[in-house]
Amino acid sequence: MPTDLVLAEPHDGVLIITINRSAQKNAVNHEVAVQLAAAVDRLDADPHLSVGVLTGAGGTFCAGMDLKAFAAGEVPTLPGRGFGGLTRATVRKPLIAAVEGWALGGGFELALACDLIVAAEDAKFGFPEVTRGLVASEGGLIRLPQRVPYHVALRVLLTGEPLPAAEAGRFGLVTTLTASGAALDEARELATRVARNAPLALAAVKRIVRAAEGLDDEDAFAAQDPLVAGLIASDDAHEGARAFKDKRAPVWHGR
C-alpha cells in the first residue's frame, strides 16, 4: 500500500501537510483519508508543533473525492472524522489551507475545515455536487453560509459554478490572496507568525471561537470562562508576563 500519498514535513514549529497525488489532482481516496488523519493527529500530539499548513502537490489543492476509487467501493471518509479524515475531526491546533488551482467538492470542504485560507489569486473554489445529484454534505452546506453572505453561498451551492479566489477574498473567506504559485510560501509565513505565540493560548482561541458559534452572549461566556481560568493559571501565562517585564522573547512550555 502506498505510504507517501500525504506528506508531513515539520519546519520550525509548523507542520506542512501535502496531499501528494498530483496525477489525480489530489483527489481523496480511503488511503489519503487515513494518512491525512494521521498527519493531523501528529500535529496535535507533537509538543514541538504549533500550527499546520494543508496544501496539495502539483498546483492543485484538491479535486475532491476520487470517483474511480469510490466506484470501486472505496469510501473517502473515516468514522467520526468525515471526508479526508478531517471535515468532522476535532483538531486542537490551528490549521491553514494553502490553495492553488482548484478546491472542488470535498477539497473545498477540506479548506473550510481549516481555520485560515491562503489562496492564489487564480485559484477557484466550487461545489459541483448538485450537477451530479448530490449535495456538499461534509461541511459545505453548513460552513459556507457561515463564512460568506447567504446569497453568495446559495449561488455557489445551487448552481455548482466556481467561486474565484478574488471574489472569495472580498467576502473574507480567503485570509490572504497571493500571486499564482505563492500560496504555500505565504501560508508558511503566516503559520510562522502564529507559531510564535503561546500554544495553550492558540488552542484556547480556536476552541472558544468554535464553541461560541450560534450561542447567545450568556452561554458563550459560560463556555469560555472555565477555559480562560485554566489559561490564566498556566505556566505559559506567567512566562508571558515575565518575558514582557524582562523585555525578552518568551519561552513557551505548553503547560
| 143-181 pLDDT per residue, tens | 999 999 999 999 999 999 999 999 999 999 999 999 999
Residues 189, 204: one domain? no
Residues 97, 157: one domain? yes
pTM for the whole thing? 0.94
Residues 203, 191: one domain? no
- For 47-96, the pLDDT digits (tens) are 999 999 999 999 999 999 998 998 899 999 999 999 999 999 999 999 99
Q: Domain of 239?
A: 199-246
pLDDT band for position 213 (50/70/90)? confident
Mean per-residue pLDDT, 18-35: 97
In a domain, 1, yes or no: no
Residues 215, 111: one domain? no
C-alpha cell at 77: 471518509
Residues 181, 203: one domain? no
Please provide the average confidence, as pLDDT, over all residues in the chain.
Answer: 95
Q: Which residues are catalytic?
A: 109, 129
Does pLDDT of 253 surpass 90? no
Question: Where is the domain boundary, 195, 220, 236?
Answer: 195
In a domain, 251, yes or no: no
CB 66 within 8 A of CB 23: no
